[in-house]
Structure 1
Amino acid sequence: MKAKYIHTNINVFDLEKSLKFYEDALGLKEKRRYEQEEGKFILVYLTDGQSDMEIELTWLRDRKEPYNLGDNEIHLAFRVDDFDGFYERHKEMGCICYENKPMGLYFINDPDGWWLEVVPADKH
């Protein structure tokens, strides 16, 4: 028996804002979406176009306030081919929330406060 890891879910408060962020910050594109028949929720699957792994953004119609992420001790990580270029883009976007210079990586926040680790191609 085998299991294949296919996606990670993130609930988002403002779907359009999140879609724009993930495309601008990381180049992720919408691969497919599912809109619940009664409009109660929308699922959008994002891809980097290189791997099988996807991020599932879930928007819930009845959600009235941003999500409480608690201590936010979880994150997603992205290996990038142009670390300096991504760093400058993220600096301009104002989304860098933590830098770990000794380890040669940094983190950005998405619009809901989720942490995303950015790692150069020659690390990890």
Structure 2
Amino acid sequence: MHGFKKFIMRGNVIDLAVAFVMGAAFVAVMNSLVSDLLTPLIAAIFGKQDFSALTFTVNGSVFRYGAFINALISFVLIATALYFFVVAPLNAVADRRRRKAGLPVLDEPPTELELLTQMRDLLREAPRR
């Protein structure tokens, strides 16, 4: 029992639990944003909010392609909202912090080859023992 308690109280397990709960809460917020705000906005523009009734039948099998369209629209709206409301603002904050610290703003992360080249150059410059 002591080993289990030690395992549970390790920082990474607690961090993972907190991240899971926060992720679940964030999913609810994003779903509400899409279903309560963005989807009605799309419906106001295009005149149709729910495509789940769209189907076709082949040899007695019903294909509900409207449900797929709903899922696809929901995915695109969630990805768009996530980018513009979370990713872009956090990137702007990170860039502002880098500028304040006097560091260059990174447009794109360095490639593996660039990192290896930098490591090689730093090793060459290091004093020999």
Greater relative contact order structure (CA < 8 Å, 6+ sep): 1
- TM-score, normalization: structure 2? 0.19
* Structure with more of its chain in helix, by fraction: 2
- TM-score, normalization: structure 1? 0.20
Bigger CA radius of gyration = 2
* Structure with more of its chain in strand, by fraction: 1
